[in-house]
Every structure is written in C-alpha cells, then in structure tokens.
Structure 1
Amino acid sequence: MIVVTAPTGDIGHQVVENLLEHGASVRVIVRDPSRLPDVIHNKVEVVQGSHADADTVNRAFEGAEAVFWLVPADAKAESVMAAYVDFSRPAAAAMKANGVKRVVGITALGRTTPLADNAGYVTGSLAMDDLIASTGVSFRALTMPSFMDNLLMQAASIKNQGMFFSPISGDLKLPSCATRDIATVATRLLLDESSSGQEEVAVLGPENISFNDMAEIMSGALGNPVRFQQLSLEAYKTRFLQFGFSEAMARGMTDMADAKNRGLDLGIERTPENTTPTSFREWCEEVLRPALLG
C-alpha cells in the first residue's frame, strides 16, 4: 500500500495516476474527497482529513509500505517553520509508529549552500526533511528548483498583458523542471522496494534557462509577444500580502526569491541522473498554450 498526500494537487494527482497505471494499491489523504475525479476515486482508498492531523495520518499510514509526502504550505501560517515543520510533526510520529518503510518527499534545492539558512520556504522545507529523516525511515527527498508549472499562476497576466513577473534577474540562468517529470521520478522511487537509507535526489529539468529566455520561447509558442518584468523584492512581497498571505509567509516567499537570485539553485552539479526530459519549449506547447488558448 502506498499513501499519497495532496492527491488533488498538481504533482500529487499525477503521482496517483502513475501509481495506478503500474498496478499499485493506493490510499490517499484528502480534505474534500469530492475533488477527486471519479475515475480516481473508484480506484483508491480514501482517508478524509488533513495530513497535519495525528488521527488522520495514523489511520492512513496503518499497513502502508510507502508514503508520498508533500506539504502545500499554508499561506496564512504564523511562520514558515509552522507551515512545514509543525505541520509535519504528526506525520513523522505516525511514520515511525506504523513502521512505514519508505518516504518520498517534495522539497527544495539549497542544502549545499549557506544561502539556505535564510531562504524562506526553502529553509522550512529542509528543516522538514530533517524531521522526517530523524524517524529513521528510508527517505528520498526530491530537491527541486522552481517549477515551470508555477507560471500558470500568472496565466492571466501572460494572456492579457503579455507579461510575467519575478524579483529574480531576467538574465540569470537557473534550473527549472516540469511537474510531470517530478511525478515520474517520485513514482519510480515509491515503487522501488529495494531502496534504503536516506538521500537527496535532485530533479533539475533538461537545462538552465533564464526568464528572458522563457519569454522568447513563450512568445513563439503563443504567437504573441511575451516579456519578463523584474520586480523589486518589496513589490513582490506586497503582491503576496494582497493575495492574503500572512506577513511571515509573504516574507518567506521574498526571502526564497532573494536566495534564488543569489544562486541558491546552482549548488548541485548537473548529471544525466538528475536531468529530466521535458524542455521549457515542450512544456509551453503541451501545457501553457492549451491552458491559455484552449
């Protein structure tokens, strides 16, 4: 039995679909089961509740061999550590109590650089990893750069204004990966019954690419000019406050972007093993263009 958290999210739902295609027995933790597509709902066991709740995770992890762990950080949390570490404490205890053998988690790049000490969400993610590792479970932490799919959060401005925004320099080439590739790697590791020990597994996409490069590629894929606009860190933080984020979580987003702008995501050497296939051009043609243009 493999337990999947956040099964209605962008990565989680793809992990569920992949596991089912491989014939795995899947149990999901979900607050609102009605959000599961019927084709999925009828093929999985459902435990309703939050994966921050001790009773919920104990029920879900009973008899489970593996867990896919993803924390969708609460935008209104009182701190980044509360959003990641405190959220995960009941699950870490339940993993140990129920004898879960393998955990595959979604986390962030940065542990190899001092920039991770003040990198907002990244700092919280890495502290969460330490908590899970302390249980002694076999643990694979998938360390991520920014996702290509995050651009879908700016779909309206890309479509209507031909612009997208970030406080990161438009010329800085950074790794970027597609969530479908993350789900593929996670699925492989969840199904690997021979895995043991604990390690970080980087998922870097096929190339380092700048936001200005992305704008040029988007322009071609969409048939309309798209340009990148760099924001100040303060303006970036203000946007999140306007979206209803708490002060601490808005600051967490800003600190993360600042660290990335200073090279946080560049501390891992690219290898054939951590290079995933979906290029940004492919992602634009197959994901962004249909999302924007139908």
Structure 2
Amino acid sequence: MSAPSARLAITGSTGALGGAVAAALAEAGREQRLIVRSAGRAPRLEGASIATASYGHTPEAKDALRGIDVLFMVSAAESADRVAEHIGMINAAAAAGVTHIVYTSFVGAAEDSVFTLARDHWATEQHLRASGVNYTILRDNFYLDALVSFADANGVIRGPAGEGRVAAVARRDIAAVATRILLDPAAHRGHTYTLTGPASITLAEVAEALTRHTGTPTRFENETVEEAYASRAHYGVPSWQEDAWVSTYTAIAAGEFDVVTDDIRLLTGEPATGIEALLTSAE
C-alpha cells in the first residue's frame, strides 16, 4: 500500500512564481490549498481550495494552515517588516502542525551580504532551520525575467555593477523545480538547492541581447554608488528600498550573483533557461 500524498498549501498563487507552481500541481492532479490575502484574486484551479491569510497575521495564518503537511512558502513582498512576516508565517505553520516548509530564499544569503535583501533571507533561513519543521530551501539567483526589464524608457540599464556577472534564473525553471519537490517532498527534506541560469553574464551582455531581440538599442551605463542613489531619488521611496535597489548592482559588482550550478537540470532533467532562450520565447 502506497503512502498517502502530503497535503499541500501554496502561498503566492496570485503571483508569477506561486501561480505557476499551483497551476502545475493542478495539472498533475494534486489537491492543494491556496493561501491568499484576497480570495477574489486566487486562481480557480481543479482540486484547489482557498484560505485567506497574510504573512503579517499569524493567528489567521495558523487557521489557514490547519491540516496541511507541506507548505510552499514564497518569500513575502519586499518591505521593512519582511523578516518579521516570514518569522510569523513559519511560527504559524509550526503551530498548525505543518511538518515541512519549502522556502524560496536567495543565492548567497548571509548576514553580511552586499545585497541587503539577501540578509533578510538569511535571517529567515536561520529561523526556519531552528523551528523544528523540516525544510527545503531554494536559493534562487536574481530573476532573469526581471533583469531583462531593467532598461529605462531610453533603453539604458544603469547602476554600479561594473563588469560583474549574474547567473540570473528564469522563474519558470524555479517553478519546475518547486513542483518536482512538492510532488515528492520527503525526498528533499533538509536540502538546500541553488537555482541559477546556465551562465553568468554582465549587464552589458544583457543590453546586447535585448538589442538583438527587441530591435530597440539598449546599453549599460555604469554608475558610481553616489550617482545611483541620486538617479533614483525622484522615486521618493523609503531608504531601505533605495538601499535594496542600489545594492542589487553593487552585489553584482562584488560577485555575489556570479554563481552557476547544475541543480535545475539535476532536479528537472531539463537545462536551465538562458537569456537568449527566454527572449526568443517572448518574441
């Protein structure tokens, strides 16, 4: 007699990554519970129930997670309270009896990461590892889908990245990995995977690829750190957000995103998507 399937819950199903995972699980015939802030925005999928909760409200999250074995926890939206929200969700899951959390972290997450948001992921990982709940951590490189949208209206990608390289990863590859893990979560307990693109590229090379595929001349302009803060000041965002934006580029310059692994191919059987393949598929 085969073991019963784990009862799954998915966060972030109204977004690109969580939505792709939820759709793939539905296609595979798996039942799941979609944890969303607004039930009206949840995708309608075969075998999916809907529960309303947010990371910032631990009691309602605990109620939403009752009866769940495995939680796919997409990291919360960037905010000054992000770590507290993550900790609250992990605590709610543990209190609800969840036995395994699959968490989307970031490549090279560390207390002293140049990229400020990677520090948030490190703090979350530390809490998850100490929570007593089984875990699988997906350390994603920078999203390739976001990187190819970095050019401004004048076709300029600007920031203090220098000649640094980034092995940006396509969201669809992360979704494919997460789906495989959720279909057989026990095989991945205690594992940390680093998900990257097939090669590290400079922002100048990103601009060249965009020029070829879009027909719009695109170039990379290297800024100093001071110039980067000045060119973004008009957005009027809080200092933590400004720091996150600028440190995206300084982390590239420091080599923090210059990490290439074969984990996507090993987990899915398919090679990671590169920038040329991503742009070709969008044409």
Bin the TM-score by the shorter chain: 0.7 to 0.9
Query: What's the % identity of the aligned pairs?
Result: 23
Asked whether 1:232 is paired with 2:228, we answer no
- Structure 1 residue 122: deviation in Å? 0.3
CA distance in 1, matches of 2:147, 2:257: 18
Q: 1:190 aligns with which of 175, 182, 196?
A: 182
Q: 1:282 aligns with which of 268, 277, 280?
A: 277
- After superposition, the CA RMSD in angstroms is 2.5
1:206-217 maps to which residues of 2 (within 5 A)?
A: 206-217=198-209
Show the counterpart of 2:3.
none
Asked whether 1:46 is paired with 2:50, we answer yes
Show the counterpart of 1:58.
62
Change in Cα spacing, 1:153 to 1:208, as seen in structure 2 (3 Å) is: closer
Bigger helix share: 1
Asked whether 1:166 is paired with 2:170, we answer no
- Structure 1 residue 241: deviation in Å? 5.1
CA distance in 1, matches of 2:230, 2:74: 26
CA distance in 1, matches of 2:216, 2:149: 19
- Structure 1 residue 31: deviation in Å? 1.7
Q: 1:221-267, CA deviations, whole angstroms, 9 ceiling, x for partnerless residues?
A: 11232212223333434565544532123223333432332111236
Q: 1:71 aligns with which of 68, 75, 96?
A: 75
Q: 2:266 aligns with which of 273, 276, 282?
A: 273
Q: 2:13 aligns with which of 2, 7, 10?
A: 7
CA distance in 2, matches of 1:193, 1:151: 30
Q: 1:74-123, CA deviations, whole angstroms, 9 ceiling, x for partnerless residues?
A: 44x2xxxx32x211222121222222122111111114x7852x531001
Provide TM-score, normalisation by structure 1: 0.83
Structure 2 regions of 5+ residues with no counterpart?
Answer: 1-6
Show the counterpart of 2:121.
125
The answer to whether the 8 Å contact 1:174/1:210 transfers is: yes
CA distance in 1, matches of 2:143, 2:249: 13
Q: 2:103 aligns with which of 78, 102, 105?
A: 105
1:256-267 maps to which residues of 2 (within 5 A)?
A: 256-266=248-258
The one-letter amino acid paired with 1:86 is A
Secondary structure at 2:30 match in 1? coil
The answer to whether the 8 Å contact 1:109/1:144 transfers is: yes
The answer to whether the 8 Å contact 2:35/2:52 transfers is: yes
CA distance in 2, matches of 1:8, 1:238: 34
CA distance in 2, matches of 1:167, 1:6: 31
- Flag the structure with more relative contact order, 1 or 2, with Cα contacts below 8 A and sequence separation at least 6: 1
Secondary structure at 1:229 match in 2? strand
Provide TM-score, normalisation by structure 2: 0.86
